[in-house]
Structure 1
């Protein structure tokens, strides 16, 4: 791991936890929509079609119907939009995508360009004034509510200006003018159409986006469960297959300890080998016991800070001090009757794996802070004084086979993935970050109203 800035990183895939709806995680309350992008090539193609239609319409009206339009000025306005389109294709070749601000800029330019064209061709008296609806409708289907409102306001300002200022159409009767009340009616109709079309198109598109986002979140959750099930099957098979080799290693190590002199260096290594093999067997036996149905001894409730101590205890090592602190709301002392929780396998293995990872990379100290709020929220913060998470993997931590030690010492990058998945089963939110003064930080939080226990 390497040091990076202090940045909160949420888990790479969204977790569906009790009391939390899909909309609350995927819907952007500020913009009113899920952020969207637009392919530059798609926008350019739409604009080429619109420009071609404008050129054909101008030529037909001028040459076929004989209307004396200011053709040169009108074609210059169309040419300005064509130049912008060529610039777009040159700056964004291939399948590059525009962000929301860029897409809104081009759509806003289209509104202004069309308004300028209408100015020289009769204003709202031109039947093609209805085309002011097009850019706003496109925005409503692909951009956020905020951008759509801004473009709608631009279109309304343009429509209002065109109602009062425009070059007249060359009607056959020289003294013909549209009645003011008719022009006002055109303006009202255009305004109503703008607002209604934008609102309706945005609402329908937003529903489609919500369904698509919900489907994506569900597929991600199912994929995560499938990967965890595959890892679980692999672990079960490994536990079964490791039983016999560990027994053989223990027998050989025990014989070596018995046959070698007590002060021999080899005897010391044999005793270490025997103790480590016994530890492996104890771990396998513990896993087997924890997978059995609930037992009073395994699932008696205890204070949450005591559960954290229980999870951290197997991972203590010489040279690294694990400090566990607990406090109540706003740093208050621990209450006389702190929140209690059942020590389920998900909590013990999940928190234990995170603490173990911190101990492995720490230089001297690992700090574990347990806190809870008045509304029931519980949080565990694990910090170490090691080098921190590598920036290249920080955003992907918690995914399977992502490890800062990949390919070294047999590590496969599954520890944090399993830990995060187990904790998310209990309703937790897991985040990975780096401390400002160096070292890594893992935040585990159970939101208010969610009981800290495994889903059954």
Structure 2
């Protein structure tokens, strides 16, 4: 299991360090929401046209070409059904798709105006609604193309249209036109406010998403620098540790040490601690990718976690460990040194906060692995909970502290999971949630 992000489109965003970073970004999501808004607007247009045509035909007694106008309405219904099918097919929604949708809406509006008096129809100002939507949704060139198309349609409607016979209305023609303009004004204003509000909400969500991505990119850049520093330090420590190991071996074989049991015990303890330092250095190199082939092992969730908890118990010796593994059914996965170290960090923090008791619960929720680590310490400060996963946020007062949880959050996030923390009243609880898809072989 390699720590790679979930597959999506990428964009290049500067992190302020002189270099850009490729981070996850999917612009199609916002366009899909906006296309759905256009579909909803088209349904309203269909309902509005049906009501308006019925009111004019039977309410005002003005004869309209009902068959042709009904065909235009049915074409809008067909366009909406095709658009919904397009969304269900999960195809990317580009600027060109939105542009084509607005052009087709404009063509339908032009057809209805052609059949109902042309440019003299008070609803001709609905062209402005199409242009307003285009200004918000489309690229600049597409918006100007939409302006040109609307202008051309307006000019053509002044020269070619089907006139409407309204002579029997006498002097009320002007009043009828004013009423139509008022209805068109109210309709256009209401739709602009309604849909501009929803479109702006989509854009704000996109901007917030981009801000989160920039923050993640900066944090990942910070982690890369830390990894390079740790890897370099591990390489540099290899030589002095090997030298000390040779010297301890010589001391153990010397007569002065072999004749002194206490001194021999001290040398043996020094050798054991030295071996532990060498294992730590090897773990750093393995986690940074120097020995990835040795770090990944095919296993199962229960075996991996049972072995991990047993190893941590041997090294850390908690006074009381309450471990429950309820993960069922078991899953085959590929374990990783980085994931193992992340869980160790969470357990070490819990033990430091609560030396007398640490609780670990493992369970399965649908296709997720859930690992909960609890303690009976004083809990998290409000500031740490509010900025969970930010570097150098620590209540321990040590310079440079607070990196453990920062690394935990970022590694779990790279695996597509989440980290949550809360106070329980009797301590704290940190929950790691990992999708099984990223852990499977």
3-state SS of the aligned residue for 1:342?
strand
Cα shift readout 1:138-168 (whole Å, capped 9, x = no counterpart): xxx9xxxxxxxxxxxxxxxxxxxxxxxxxxx
Q: Of residues 339, 344, 357 in structure 2, which corresponds to 1:365?
A: 357
Work out whether 1:417 is the aligned partner of 2:406. Answer: yes
- Shift of the 402–312 alpha-carbon distance from structure 1 to 2, 3 Å rule, reads farther
Q: 1:216 aligns with which of 211, 216, 219?
A: 211
1:219-266 C-alpha deviation (Å, 9 max, x unpaired)? 1222122111001011011102222333454456566766457554x7
**In structure 1, C-alpha distance between the alignment counterparts of 2:377 and 2:27, rounded to whole Å:** 38
Q: Which residue of 1 aligns with 2:99?
A: none
Aligned to 1:383: 374
Q: State the 1:271 CA deviation.
A: 4.2
Q: How does 1:136-151 map to 2 (within 5 A)?
A: none
Q: Distance in 1 between matches of 2:390 and 2:199?
A: 34
Judge conservation of contact 2:345–2:404 (CA < 8 Å) in 1: yes
Deviation at 1:192, TM superposition (A): 0.9
Taking the TM superposition and a 5 Å limit, the aligned residue runs for 1:248-259 are 248-250=243-245, 259=256
Shift of 1:198: 0.6
Checking the alignment, whether the CA contact within 8 Å between 1:406 and 1:413 is kept in structure 2 is no
Match for residue 244 of structure 1?
239
**CA 1:396 to 1:293, structure 2 compared with 1: closer, same or farther past 3 Å?**
same
CA–CA separation in structure 2 for the residues paired with 1:192 and 1:453 = 55
**Contact 1:378 1:446 survives alignment (8 Å):** yes
* 1:378 partner SS: strand
Structure 1 residue 364, shift from structure 2 partner = 1.8
Deviation at 1:450, TM superposition (A): 3.3
Partner of 1:345: 337
Superposition map of 1:39-438 within 5 A: 185=180, 188-250=183-245, 259=256, 262=260, 264=262, 271-289=268-286, 291-292=289-290, 295=293, 298-316=295-313, 317-328=316-327, 334-335=328-329, 338-373=330-365, 375-407=366-398, 412-435=401-424, 437-438=425-426
TM-score (norm 2): 0.54
Distance 1:390 1:277, change over 3 A: farther
Distance 1:365 1:424, change over 3 A: same
Q: Conserved in 2, the CA contact under 8 Å of 1:320 and 1:365?
A: yes
Q: Which runs of 5+ in 1 are unaligned?
A: 1-14, 33-136, 142-178, 329-333
Q: 1:288 to 1:387 in 2, by over 3 A?
A: same
* Secondary structure in structure 1 of the residue aligned to 2:373: strand
Choose which of 421, 430, 433 in structure 2 pairs with 1:445. Answer: 433
Which secondary structure does the structure 2 equivalent of 1:450 belong to? helix
Equivalent residue, structure 1, for 2:171: none
1:17 and 1:319, CA in 2 relative to 1: closer, same or farther beyond 3 A?
same
For the residue of structure 1 that corresponds to 2:437, the secondary structure is coil
5+ unaligned residues in a row in structure 2: which ranges? 9-23, 37-131, 137-173
Give the 3-state SS of the residue equivalent to 2:429 in structure 1: strand
Q: Report which structure shows greater RCO (CA 8 Å, sep ≥6).
A: 1
Give the match for residue 71 of structure 2. none
CA contact (8 A) 1:427 1:452 kept: no
Provide the secondary structure at the position in 1 that maps to 2:379. Answer: coil
Distance 1:349 1:429 in 2: 16
The offset of 1:299, in angstroms, is 3.4
Q: 1:394 to 1:255 in 2, by over 3 A?
A: farther
Distance 1:401 1:302, change over 3 A: same
For 1:380 and 1:388, the matched residues in 2 are separated by 18
Compute the displacement of 1:204 (Å). 4.2
Asked if the contact 1:22–1:214 (Cα under 8 Å) also holds between the matched residues in 2, the reply is: no
Aligned residues between the structures: 284
Q: Distance in 2 between matches of 1:270 and 1:325?
A: 39
Higher helix share: 2
SS at match of 2:396: coil
Q: Deviations over 1:84-113 (max 9, x none)?
A: xxxxxxxxxxxxxxxxxxxxxxxxxxxxxx
Shift of 1:275: 1.9
1:311 deviates by 3.1
Task: Map Cα deviations across residues 34-70 of structure 1 (whole Å, 9 max, x no partner).
Answer: xxxxxxxxxxxxxxxxxxxxxxxxxxxxxxxxxxxxx
Classify 1:314/1:416 alpha carbon distance in 2 versus 1 (closer, same or farther; 3 Å): farther
Q: Measure the CA separation in 1 of the matches of 2:308 and 2:28.
A: 32
Question: Is contact 1:303-1:340 (8 Å) kept?
Answer: yes
